[in-house]
Structure 1
Amino acid sequence: MSLIRPFAGLRPIPTQAAEVIAPPYDVLNSEEARQRAQGRPWSFLHISKPEIDLPPDTDPYSELVYAKGAENLQKMINTGILKQDTQPYYYLYGLTMGNHKQIGLVAVANVNDYDSNRIRKHEWTRPEKEDDRVRQIDALNAQTGPVFLAYQHHPVIDNLVEQWVLHQPPIVNVTAADGIVHTLWLVDDSNTMDIITTTFDSMACLYIADGHHRSAAASRVAALRRANHPQPTGTGEEAYNYFLAVIFPDDQLQILDYNRVVQDLNGLTVEEFLAQVNQAFEISLSNQAIKPQHSGEFGLFLKRQWYRLIIRANRISSQDPVACLEVSLLTDHLLTPILGITDLRRDKRIDFVGGIRGLSELEKRVNSGEMAVAFSLYPTSLQALMAVADAGQVMPPKSTWFEPKLADGLVSHLL
């Protein structure tokens, strides 16, 4: 069984692609999805967020929701909006966000390699979210949300992709509502597909950038179906033994800052708080918002004033790949000892703001009185992510924010 392989993708007919593609299922809540899909009967949100077609008070984890998603998927297939390719292919998926461009390979990845950690993880999953994805995949008999994978860039793949994109016209090129351009190429040459497969087979590993719940759910679905179709009936090559993925080279990916806001100062006055911060960080006033430019630099916004924080060198003593992360430095030397936040996952006093929203969002949350203090961070690097995954460790919650996001609906994998 290969690390990755081509597959017969289910995708919108080119004339309908702009109407079909939608943001990932987990970046919109139900009400936002309902508004976004209004007047758009072929939006993929009817499949990825099917509660929008049920009464507003419907539990999004109700069996009715999964059944509605399956019904909507079948409807789009029956009407010809979505069509499955007649044979297995690879696809190239280009994302353009302003001046940033990246091109990944759409493939299906081996569940066994996920289970053996050849496809490496860096986050814990939450059981309720994992259960949701298992039920969604099982009801639809399809994987509709791709897992975002990364690989250490390889000259063979780099050259192949560059030449293919240069000489082959795309089959889809659409601009989404947020201005992101989504482009899809079909790789239908058997020799090229073989080179892709064998080159990836030579790689030591792949890394999950985003999609830990989707990949974990795919593994669980595969295990359940293997149990129902044990050897020698099963061959190991069944579609459910692979999961939908878009795989990007590490040198093209863009990770933005993932910032923090906290509701209160843990009973401290501003003066007491800053005095304690000064023990671990050098503090200086700033007349403009602080967007950290290097590791060890942080921005702090409090009482309509920005401060620059530089962590003191004697506080960085560990070579542990998790302890060295920016998010860990802030947590270990400020959020936990000073603000009393010990569980980033469960503490309701802290919230997280993706860098795509800008530093003005931090100012807004504090100036409104909703939050007391905000922190801007230098983005986690992909190399740091890989180091954590290679060590078999787990990153703190909300460590990475990848942009641009993959669209749902551009290519799906039927089981």
Structure 2
Amino acid sequence: MAIIKPFKAIRPAEDKASFVATRSYEEYSKDELKSVLKYNPFSFLHILNPGFKFHKNISGKERFRLVHNRYLEFLEDNVFLKDNEPCFYLYQISKGRFKTLGFFCACSVVDYENDVIRKHEDTIQRREKLFADYLDTVGFNAEPVLMTYADNSTISALLGTEASKSPVYNFTTTDKYNHQLWKIGDSSTIKQLQKAFEEMDALYIADGHHRSASSHLLAEKKKTKNDEHTGHEAYNYFMAYLIPETAIKIYEFNRMVKDLNGLSKEEFLIALDELFRIEKKDDGLYKPTQKHHFSMYLDGEFFSLYLRKKVYKITDALSELDTQILYKTILEPILGIHDLRNDKRISYGYGKHNVIQMKDAIDSGNFAVGFSLVPTSMDEIKAIADAGLVMPPKSTYIEPKLRSGLAIYEF
């Protein structure tokens, strides 16, 4: 039984939505960030980068306090307005053939505790605490956790009806993506959506494991300080964006390693031969097309690696995952990469042109070898989450990537 709640969002004034909405902070280059901050006074980046006002880099708790202050200024200047009634917020992103339709809601930390909201990634405790402290200071959540649910005809019909109405926002950003947002405030529609989700066994986190973990940590902290805690307080929920499983787009992360761990090319290939059938590819760029097959670029040549399944034993959903297979057969035992998250010898890349970029990085001498995989599937993510297992880092690059600042959850 999954709990979803409508909430009174803090949203941009209609005439300013296109100026407020931003990509994730980490996606901006230093020069691009400086330009946006200089020429767009309504950008949500001003809230996230409050030191710009003082021409100073500010970090830590001082930055958290100033983020809160910039947020208050946006409210005082009516850049942000607060809705009077709790709503769900339908949000569609589209470009060419790409289109995804989901909605913002509040999800329960109790569901997170009870594994109704299921995870497939590990979180780092230090980052959990840092973001929980941030949320506690600023008092709002502007980046939703991206979660998926099993495709459901009732939900699809309800959302389709709402999407046929005139949107509150309708604008196109400079990357040519169109953004539309609708308020779902009708009590009957809200109840029907809630009932449909109550009948679901689970929701799955696609992106935002640290955000959800931090929200849970914050709720625990506030609960212990509140003698009149009821479980209905705003801090018992966090903002999520829910979309059906079929709307998720999953891309692979390639791996590049700086050296062969002291092995010559020939010694490395002989070591690989124990677990893989190796074939050299002479027809240009090569990408794998099925599970348990890998592309390798080494010394100016592409190779296909076919897993010898009689040698490698698959025992559970994790051991069947290509990123885990690569780790357990090559990266750890042969190349000596034990810590996939922190080892400086390994790097990751994603995107449809990444095989070319991987080749260029190796040809330039920055790396010695690279591996390309097929994308992880949604079924694999669910199998890992259902079994309570954890994927290796950088197993998935997931879209849609949402704009920040269109809907904000206060607690």
Deviation (angstroms), 1:56: 5.5
Matched with 1:184 is: 181
Q: Contact between 2:85 and 2:185, CA under 8 Å: does it hold in 1?
A: no
Matched, 1:271 2:262: no
Q: How does 1:157-306 map to 2 (within 5 A)?
A: 157-165=155-163, 167-230=164-227, 233-286=228-281, 287-306=283-302
Matching residue of 2:118: 120
CA deviation map 1:92-114 (0-9, x unaligned): 11122442211112100011111
**Letter aligned with residue 180 of structure 1:** Y
SS of aligned partner of 2:278: strand
Which stretch shows the higher mean deviation, 274-283 or 345-354? 274-283
**C-alpha contact 1:30 1:49 (8 A) present in aligned 2:** no
Distance in 2 between residues matched to 1:12 and 1:157, nearest whole Å: 27
Give the TM-score, by structure 2 length: 0.94
The 1:375–1:163 alpha-carbon spacing in structure 2 relative to 1, beyond 3 Å, is same
Deviation of 1:362 after TM superposition, in Å, equals 0.9
- The residue aligned with 1:38 is 38
Matched with 2:138 is 140
Q: Is the 8 A contact 1:106 1:246 kept in 2?
A: yes
Corresponding position of 1:399: 395
* Residue in structure 1 matched with residue 99 of structure 2 by the alignment: 101
- Offset of residue 331 of structure 1: 0.8
Report whether the alignment pairs 1:354 with 2:350: yes
1:281–1:311 Cα contact (<8 Å) kept: yes
Number of residue pairs matched? Answer: 410
The corresponding residue for 1:7 is 7
AA aligned to 1:142 is: F
- Code of the residue aligned with 1:398 in structure 2: it is K
Distance in 2 between residues matched to 1:290 and 1:50, nearest whole Å: 46
Query: Structure 1: how far apart are the matches of 2:386 and 2:127?
Result: 25
2:303 to 304, 307, 325: 307
Distance 1:381 1:81, change over 3 A: same
Asked if the contact 1:256/1:379 (under 8 Å) is kept, the reply is yes
- CA pair 244-26 structure 1, distance change in 2 beyond 3 A: farther
The offset of 1:41, in angstroms, is 1.9
C-alpha RMSD of matched pairs (Å): 1.9
Change (3 A) 1:2 1:310: closer
- Give, in angstroms, the shift of residue 197 of structure 1: 0.8
Q: Which amino acid aligns with 1:256?
A: Y
C-alpha separation between the residues in 2 aligned to 1:304 and 1:50?
47
**Paired residue secondary structure (2:160):** helix
Residues 258, 354 of structure 1: 8 Å contact kept: yes
Letter in 2 for 1:23: R
Mapped partners of 2:110, 2:276: distance in 1: 45
- Answer with 187-196 or 92-101: which moved more: 92-101
Identity of aligned residues (%): 34
Provide the TM-score with structure 1 as the length reference. 0.93
Flag the 1:67–1:124 CA change in 2: closer, same or farther, 3 A.
same
Paired with 1:47 and 1:235, the residues of 2 have a C-alpha distance of: 32
Shift in Å, 1:168 = 0.8
Corresponding residue for 2:368?
Answer: 372
Contact 1:30 1:52 in 2 (8 A): no
**Long gaps (5+) in structure 1:** none
Decide whether the 8 Å contact of 2:254 with 2:373 is kept in 1. Answer: yes
Q: Deviations over 1:236-286 (max 9, x none)?
A: 211111100001111111001111111101111112212222222222222
CA distance in 1, matches of 2:8, 2:333: 53
Q: Report the AA paired with residue 344 of structure 2.
A: K
Q: Within 2, Cα distance between the matches of 1:95 and 1:66?
A: 30
How far off is 1:120 after superposition? 0.8
